[in-house]
Amino acid sequence: MSKSLARVAATLESAGLACEILEMPGETRTAGDAAREAGCEIDQIAKSIVFRGEESDSVVLFITAGGNRVDGEKASKAAGEALGRADANFVRERTGFAIGGVAPVGQLTPSHVFLDPKLLEYSIVYAAAGTPRHIFAVAPTRLAEIAGARVVEFTT
């Protein structure tokens, strides 16, 4: 088991979430890939989008429904600071995950986390579990709780 996958599993277990981490036969790098592999609607995919706080240099994580896009202006307003692009090195160093497998929980460093209200329309959503082939199913309210996310409108 990879370190990233183990960290996600440990985070979920310590939060008391009894869920199975699923290894998909195909990749789940994109929301479309993940929806196809999970057999669900694209908006049931809780994709993790990482930004860099320009003033704080912190990780700002937006968990959004798979079919939605993060609106930069709304996201900056939610975060309370201007946000910049988080390159692959920043994402890997700060979260411990590679792009395409960023989990909404189990980051190496604390993040400011925001959840798309669209996800709350579903009883179950699927999120990356730290690799491009692993996902887990969770109630979106529980995901928000475990991730320490505020529910805020930040999409276009």
Distances, alpha carbon 119 to alpha carbons 43, 102, 131, in Å: 7, 17, 21
Share of the chain above pLDDT 70, in %: 100
Domains of the chain: 3-151 (3.90.960.10)
The radius of gyration of the chain from alpha carbons, rounded to an integer in Å, stands at 14
pLDDT at 19 over 90: no
Question: What average pLDDT does the segment 121-126 reach?
Answer: 98
Question: What average pLDDT does the segment 126-151 reach?
Answer: 97
pLDDT at 85 over 90: yes
C-alpha angle with apex 152: 108 to 76, nearest 5 degrees?
A: 70
- Residue 98 is predicted with a pLDDT of 93
Question: What average pLDDT does the segment 12-31 reach?
Answer: 92
- Residue 138: which region, alpha, beta or left (left: phi > 0; alpha: psi -120 to 50)? beta
pLDDT at 62 over 90: yes
Question: What average pLDDT does the segment 27-47 reach?
Answer: 95
Question: What average pLDDT does the segment 21-30 reach?
Answer: 92
pLDDT at 110 over 90: no
